[in-house]
Structure 1
């Protein structure tokens, strides 16, 4: 079958070659060798951990599972991918997909536990490479200025990358729909996870991050990492944060649903959190300061807390008193690409660090939005005892309706997350267009 994305991928690769050539020229390199990486052994064992190839290798190939492989970029020469595919009867050697990059790049298959020989007067090698390996090549290992330039080149996505992110969203939503159906059928977290994987056609080692499947109070654990095999007696709520990887590019979607045993107040909060997410998506545009947008999320959340009678007093006081931070301790979103938390979210295009404000240390994106960026928007509202305890003991705690909080604790929390591509005059919600 012809590759429908081949022409977009060709344009993507041509732009990559120009970008690498410009970075190498500016920094004085005539070659960059990218290592895909190697699986790590568990300590004291002969079993390997799940593997994912280096992001800059995936940026060219989209291959998340190619280990011990290399990609050589030299201006004026054919970019070459050295694919580690030895004869082996213990494991099936990798086979390459029918995609445009395999025609555009020179592909050489063989054994590459050690790097290929490179003829370059000044070579940089990047990835999980030992200094001794770089020295043997006469290369500089992971030079910071070059990495900063290459990271910046991943911030603005090509048409090809947006198409891949869109398809990843489409497939992830198939999983979310199946997860919701399993929840309403009374299944356990493990069964919901298996329903997600089956519907989205993934094995667990292929997902871009560990799926979060939290029933009830487990939804208040932001990175909940277990799957109970028994269904709870009461079905208050479900939070699913789960994605899909397509040609290296990641979807990162979260949905929350009230269950048959949900408090009506919780169901109303879920609806209103969808509204807040929509308002924040509508505010996206080039030039928007993401820190300011994150702060707007806190103002909208404060208004909701007052409206729902969780908090007395004004929305302004709820923000200033730190109440909203106790109900939502994470950032509004992050850059998205071949990594779920993609690179350069806290660094300007000039390489200047842009740390989050002290009151919002978890914010992963602190720069102004630009055309080509793809971001997540994920407002949240949680009932986390570890955070609510100190709030209750503080002066601001007197404004909180603790009896209502107590009713809502078994529901865990709410997170609504979409993936949105920023264009010059519009935004494209890659999640909602498939929902």
Structure 2
């Protein structure tokens, strides 16, 4: 049973909107979280974390899992702190993302302990006492200074798997991050519980709402900076709350894969718009990219539409038993086919893939795992005992090489770009005649295209969280 020690305030149970079933996306499995309350979903999630913890500790030969929430980092020669980021191992248990100095202790057969820092502080807003649908699963101990946590941690640090960053050291409790424990927990974190799917869906709702606002700002001729502000306003999150820095690129800036400059003034003519931006909900992320042309009847919009149609086919490949590397390699062939259809390639799609020419236009991976982190961990893990599944030769930027299984959540983000640096290398190389340079010059001013959805593998058809929410907000 939950207990609050010291002088913490009680707080009320937080209300939470229950996810609603979506029936507007064809050929997919119903959301497993749709008909259950958040309390029920969390209880199942909590039980699964306890099961995984028991197995992980047995692998490492430890008695306790100890997880610090993380600490504030300060800039050198200054008293300004960097934006705080919660330890993913901590927020997997509790939806607390702004609570440095707290600790979680999980011991098999015992109620997990949350050591919650609620400091005496008149310089900053003090966190409220923990409350909500998850609190009853923990013994909550409120402390007033970070050092007080020591009295509530296990007696023998040597019997603890302590997962965190070095700066979280407290007395003799220094993170040791034992590899067998990490390997087990991170491997299984790829499999999302229904609670986690519900959290990701809520993040997606915020992200889609913000993407709609960003598109409207682009159509109104706003600058990259103003589009970014419109996005944050609609998401109701500032830059520190978003899961990653927004990519808001107009015209040729869309050819910079991680463009983050945010020009303050609009260009003389807005021809195209690429936005890669997400949102957060209780520690979980969404990751969404969309591309637009200012002229709906333009050839560049037709190219966007072709990539979008191909991306939907790739999303449908997110099925149990599919090798994610296969989706990536198939994407190269599909995108090369589009370039051939639009007159950019003079050689066949197969030849473009074989010679590496396709990589000039699609120079990144097809996607990655997603969840508590935008680039979720253990993308190359061979098993929960370690080992690595290598990337395909010639594809250094792929972030996931595992075979998909039910519960895994991934992004699918094919792209076509006209990057001067890569094109200059192609022009100087042996395959310069593989492309029509006049056609390339016609597309250069538009920068590039990327379409990205978050997709959950199920026992049947995939669950496309992104498309569902765009359809629901139409």
TM bin, normalised by shorter chain, reads over 0.9
2:154 to 104, 109, 118: 118
CA drift of 1:358 comes to: 3.2
Unaligned runs of 5+ in 2: 1-13, 17-36
Question: Deviation of residue 132 (structure 1)?
Answer: 6.6
SS of the counterpart of 1:190?
helix
The correspondence for 2:103, drawn from 70, 81, 105, is: 70
2:278, 2:287 within 8 Å by CA — same for their partners in 1? yes
The 1:130/1:177 distance shift into structure 2, 3 A limit, reads closer
Match of 1:107 in 2: 140
Q: Where does residue 47 of structure 1 map in the other structure?
A: 80
2:85, 2:97 within 8 Å by CA — same for their partners in 1? yes
Which of 175, 179, 204 is equivalent to 2:214? Answer: 179
Determine the C-alpha separation between the residues in 2 that align with 1:378 and 1:74.
40
Q: Contact between 2:318 and 2:456, CA under 8 Å: does it hold in 1?
A: no
Partner residue, 2:233: 198
Match of 2:370 among 331, 336, 339: 336
Counting only pairs closer than 5 Å after superposition, residues 35-434 of structure 1 correspond to structure 2 as 35-95=68-128, 98-114=131-147, 115-116=149-150, 117-120=153-156, 122-129=159-166, 133=170, 136-137=172-173, 141-260=176-295, 264-349=298-383, 350-434=385-469
5+ residue gaps, structure 1: none
Looking at structure 1, the residues matched to 256 and 167 of structure 2 have their Cα atoms a distance apart, in angstroms, of 37
1:172–1:253 Cα contact (<8 Å) kept:
yes
Please give the secondary structure, in 1, of the residue aligned with 2:245: coil
SS in 2 for 1:245: strand
Tell me the secondary structure at the aligned position of residue 65 of structure 2: strand
Matches of 1:91 and 1:130, distance apart in 2:
22
Structure 2: distance between partners of 1:68 and 1:130: 11
8 A Cα contact 2:72 2:81, kept in partner: yes
| CA RMSD after TM alignment | 1.7
Tell me if structure 1 keeps the 8 A contact 2:202–2:281: yes
Q: Cα deviation per residue 1:190-243 (whole Å; 9 max; x = unaligned)?
A: 110010011111111100000110111111111111111100001111111000
Name the SS of the counterpart of 1:141 in structure 2: coil
Shift of 1:95: 2.2
- 169 and 97 in structure 1: CA distance in 2 versus 1, 3 angstrom threshold: farther
